């Protein structure tokens, strides 16, 4: 290792330890949402094929999840692929669907998932997914359905407007069939028909790559979420970046109102 690299690694280690101490003993977010943005830009910036960027992004997710479980975060929601992303190059979409299927199988077979009792659930319009991927999702959810120490909510073929549209249609169906009265519809009613029903709203949402917007991620659920934006591209997301986000969350005075 070059001396400059040694110094850089030593400084990083000290900074990481400092951040760990800063967040220790403070209130931790129980539900963290992450928008995994910047995979393609990272690949292009390093001279790699775009598909390689997606692969690196999925591998990074496994690493980050280990970090979050280490801090006993109860629920993690990750936005893997949006409904709008299906408009991208057909070859890229096909590659991502194949990778998603491979990772769905891998996570089901992951020893750590079962040791930690992580319940896996998927949120999104599954009709947009290949049949083989849907089958693997069903198997993975079935294999972890009795767990509850942690929850991993994977948003795949997900769009915030699509989720709300789907909920409205279901509510309208029940009204039409006299199973629900219009005057009985309230916030709790809407929540019951969202993909995330049964999950607490996210305390903290992290978006990488520099974009300062949620792009519809958990539109209903994020009303009072604390938001954290970082310029770091997702495949380059580091442990200190995660600690910074949590530290920032802990410094804020949460206000459930205007």
Q: Which of 217, 221, 220 is nearest to 206 (CA)?
A: 217
Question: What is the secondary structure of 83-121 as a DSSP string?
Answer: SGGGGS-HHHHHHHHHHHHHHHHHHHH-HHHHHHTEEEE
Does 37 qualify as catalytic in the annotation? yes
Residue 68 in tokens: 């979050």
Token digits of residue 65: 């999840």
Residue from 16, 85, 125, 241 carrying the catalytic annotation: 85
CA distances from 81 to 43, 85, 115, 195, 221 (A): 17, 6, 27, 15, 18
DSSP labels, 221-236 = TTTT-EEEE-SS-GGG
Distance of alpha carbon 92 from alpha carbon 85, whole angstroms: 10
Residue 102 falls in the annotated catalytic set: no
Catalytic-role residue among 16, 26, 37, 59: 37
Q: Alpha carbon of 214 to those of 21, 35, 84, 96, 221: distances in Å?
A: 30, 8, 14, 21, 12
Q: How far is CA 251 from CA 23, 73, 223, 238, 247, in A?
A: 10, 18, 19, 20, 6
Annotated active-site positions, please?
37, 85
């Amino acid at each position: 290792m070059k001396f400059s690299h040694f110094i850089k690694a030593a400084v990083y280690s000290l900074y990481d330890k400092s951040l760990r101490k800063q967040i220790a003993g403070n209130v931790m977010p129980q539900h963290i949402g992450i928008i995994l943005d910047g995979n393609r830009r990272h690949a292009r910036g390093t001279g790699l094929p775009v598909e390689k960027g997606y692969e690196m992004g999925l591998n990074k997710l496994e690493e980050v999840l280990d970090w979050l479980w280490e801090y006993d975060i109860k629920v993690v929601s990750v936005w893997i692929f949006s409904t709008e992303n299906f408009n991208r190059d057909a070859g890229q979409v096909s590659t991502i669907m194949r990778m998603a299927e491979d990772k769905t199988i891998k996570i089901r077979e992951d020893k750590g998932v079962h040791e930690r009792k992580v319940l896996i659930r998927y949120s999104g319009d599954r009709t947009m997914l290949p049949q083989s991927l849907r089958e693997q999702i069903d198997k993975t959810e079935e294999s972890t359905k009795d767990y509850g120490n942690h929850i991993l909510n994977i948003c795949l073929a997900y769009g915030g407007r699509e989720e709300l549209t789907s909920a409205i249609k279901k509510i309208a169906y029940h009204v039409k069939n006299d199973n629900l009265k219009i005057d009985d519809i309230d916030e709790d009613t809407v929540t019951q028909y969202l993909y995330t029903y049964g999950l607490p709203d996210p305390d903290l949402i992290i978006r990488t790559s520099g974009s300062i917007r949620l792009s519809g991620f958990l539109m209903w659920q994020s009303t009072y979420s604390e938001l954290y934006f970082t310029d770091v591209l997702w495949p380059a997301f580091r442990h200190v970046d995660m600690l910074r986000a949590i530290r920032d969350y802990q410094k804020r005075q949460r206000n459930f109102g205007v």
